[in-house]
């Protein structure tokens, strides 16, 4: 029943790949607020920073990669990247910036998709990439305490020795850092199983942008601690607006013994929903991912990356299902029952089940390469939305109809199990007409239908104009007041969420 004779490619795409597009120059200047009333960096400041972190950790040349996001959509003009190696250096830097009213943008792996981690004007780039000394893992409890600059993949490499792993997984795992993952409330492909970062966050060390550059520890390396306000959770998803995360305490999860991956070809979205219900029922506690890709996603892979579908046919929808479990025989049985059910009921018209690590990798490669493949079209209007399932794919049809004469493709893929859709429109270059047809219409439609305009990518620069959509003024006012509470001089990441 399962077709397995596809080409196996074992290349991983997890490391960051820079792709040039003709639209690199677009800086969304129409949204750009004027430069704030911050001081301008002087030689005296640079000398001061050199005294804190040492001369080699104050970089003023060759810093283009820090000034630019990986998609090259955003380019700042910072004159300086600082590379502290511990929390005390971070604190001294921030104290000086507070005193001098110098703007800062904290930067981790710089793998974000909304321009949150690069400067807008001349903000000092505070790289956390060298803050990676402390790594304290207790295999008995599964609790980890580590510096913010550790790269997700490197943490996993360390944890695997104890048969543990991190509870979240991202395409950017080869570059993104744990502090940045926390700051951006990173979602990813295991969200369905292990939940949001809030689930396993235990504590944070944060440097506050106050006059002392205060170092504060919130929570601690314990699964339960109800002795204070849970302030650390406020930093999750705060995009570096409230403080700089320098260390994290997290709960790891036991590395599952068995991973199974299957792909299903489906005729319509209603059947995809039925398959999801069946996956929850038959796969139960081992279900770890339920990803959707539409036909245009698969066409983009074929056209732009020469990556072939695994089916004989070209179904309108492709579903990727992953399980993580502890018992090979049990998990096989669960998967078999599930697959038999969805095929017997004709919910799926085609299907394959990976029988080796290489096949698993190839299937995930298909899913994870879609985003990159689209960039080869020229320009990508990217969206990362949450919607109730009844509207989950409807938005794609609405947008396809709206831009069909101008766009190269309208592509939908994403974490259907979490209600999170990546809806992308491509064209050969940036076109004002497409832009005007998309915005604010698309975001208004999403909010009107009970959705979120940024499910996991955050606000950054890209979505700042739309952040107000669907929010009460009281909520927005309170958010701004909290920003001022933590960052009274608004020196952290200006021009973005706040």
Q: In terms of CB distance, is 99 or 138 closer to its own copies?
A: 138
Cα(461)–Cα(32) distance, integer angstroms: 9
Cα(198)–Cα(193) distance, integer angstroms: 13
211 in contact with its own copies (CB under 8 A): no
| Stretch 95-124 residues interacting with its own copies (CB under 8 A) | none
Cα(261)–Cα(352) distance, integer angstroms: 9
| Closest separation in Å from C-beta 217 to its own copies | 6
Q: In terms of CB distance, is 36 or 419 closer to its own copies?
A: 419
Nearest Cα neighbor of 220 from 247, 244, 199 is 247
231 in contact with its own copies (CB under 8 A): yes
Which listed range, 5-13, 59-67, 250-258, 289-297, lies at the site for its own copies (CB under 8 A)?
Answer: 250-258
For 473, counting Cβ atoms within 10 Å of its Cβ (0-12 exposed, 13-18 middle, 19+ buried), the class is exposed
Which listed range, 56-64, 129-137, 308-316, 473-481, lies at the site for its own copies (CB under 8 A)?
Answer: 473-481
Query: How many CB atoms are closer than 10 A to CB 42?
Result: 11
SS3 category, 266: strand
| Stretch 21-80 residues interacting with its own copies (CB under 8 A) | none
| Closest separation in Å from C-beta 162 to its own copies | 12
| Stretch 267-286 residues interacting with its own copies (CB under 8 A) | 273, 277, 280-286
Query: Which residues are CB-contacts of 201 (< 8 A; sequence separation ≥ 6)?
Result: 182, 219, 232, 233, 236, 248, 249, 250
Binding track, positions 328-367, relative to its own copies; x by CB under 8 A = --x--xx---------------------------------
Q: In terms of CB distance, is 161 or 472 closer to its own copies?
A: 472
Cα(122)–Cα(488) distance, integer angstroms: 20
| Stretch 387-416 residues interacting with its own copies (CB under 8 A) | 388-390, 415
β-bridge mates for residue 59, sequence order: 81
Q: In terms of CB distance, is 296 or 456 closer to its own copies?
A: 456
Cα(396)–Cα(228) distance, integer angstroms: 45
229 in contact with its own copies (CB under 8 A): yes
248 in contact with its own copies (CB under 8 A): no
φ and ψ at residue 162, rounded to 5 degrees: -105, 10
Q: In terms of CB distance, is 299 or 449 closer to its own copies?
A: 449
Which listed range, 123-131, 182-190, 295-303, 348-356, lies at the site for its own copies (CB under 8 A)?
Answer: 182-190
């Amino acid at each position: 029943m399962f077709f397995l004779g596809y080409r196996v490619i074992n290349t991983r795409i997890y490391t960051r790949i820079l792709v040039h597009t003709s639209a690199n120059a677009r800086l969304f200047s129409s949204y750009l607020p004027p430069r704030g009333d911050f001081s301008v960096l002087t030689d005296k400041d640079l000398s001061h920073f050199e005294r804190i972190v040492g001369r080699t950790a104050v970089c003023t040349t060759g810093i283009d990669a820090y000034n630019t996001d990986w998609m090259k959509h955003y380019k700042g003009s910072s004159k300086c990247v600082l590379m502290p190696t511990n929390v005390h250096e971070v604190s001294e830097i921030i104290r000086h910036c507070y005193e001098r009213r110098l703007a800062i943008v904290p930067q981790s792996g710089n793998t974000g998709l909304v321009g949150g981690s690069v400067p807008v004007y001349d903000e000092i780039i505070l790289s956390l990439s060298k803050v990676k000394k402390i790594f304290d893992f207790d295999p008995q409890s599964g609790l980890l305490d580590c510096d913010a600059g550790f790269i997700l993949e490197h943490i996993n490499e360390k944890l695997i020795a104890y048969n543990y792993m991190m509870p979240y997984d991202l395409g950017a795992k080869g570059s993104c850092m744990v502090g940045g993952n926390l700051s951006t409330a990173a979602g990813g492909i295991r969200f369905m199983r292990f939940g949001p970062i809030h689930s396993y966050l235990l504590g944070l060390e944060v440097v506050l942008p106050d006059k002392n550059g205060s170092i504060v520890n919130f929570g601690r390396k314990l699964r339960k601690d109800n002795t204070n306000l849970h302030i650390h959770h406020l930093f999750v998803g705060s995009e570096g607006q409230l403080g700089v995360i320098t260390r994290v305490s997290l709960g790891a999860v036991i590395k599952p013994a068995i991973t199974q991956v299957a792909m299903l070809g489906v005729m319509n979205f209603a059947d995809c929903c039925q398959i999801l219900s069946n996956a929850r029922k038959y796969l139960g506690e081992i279900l770890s991912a339920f990803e959707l890709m539409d036909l245009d996603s698969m066409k983009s892979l074929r056209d732009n990356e020469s990556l072939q579908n695994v089916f004989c046919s070209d179904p309108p929808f492709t579903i990727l299902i992953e399980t993580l479990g502890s018992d090979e025989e049990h998990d096989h049985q669960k998967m078999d029952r599930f697959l038999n059910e969805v095929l017997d009921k004709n919910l799926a018209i085609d299907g394959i089940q990976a029988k080796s690590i290489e096949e698993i990798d190839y299937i995930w490669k298909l899913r994870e390469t879609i985003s990159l493949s689209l960039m080869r079209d020229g320009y990508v209007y990217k969206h990362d939305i949450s919607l109730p399932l009844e509207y989950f794919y409807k938005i794609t049809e609405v947008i396809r109809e709206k831009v069909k004469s101008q766009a190269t493709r309208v592509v939908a893929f994403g974490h259907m199990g979490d209600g999170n859709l990546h809806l992308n429109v491509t064209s050969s270059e940036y076109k004002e007409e497409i832009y005007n047809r998309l915005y604010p219409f698309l975001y208004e439609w999403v909010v009107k239908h009970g959705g979120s305009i940024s499910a996991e990518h955050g606000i950054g620069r890209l979505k700042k104009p739309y952040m107000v959509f669907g929010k009460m003024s009281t909520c927005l006012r309170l958010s701004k007041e909290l920003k001022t509470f933590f960052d009274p001089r608004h020196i952290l990441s200006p021009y973005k969420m706040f």
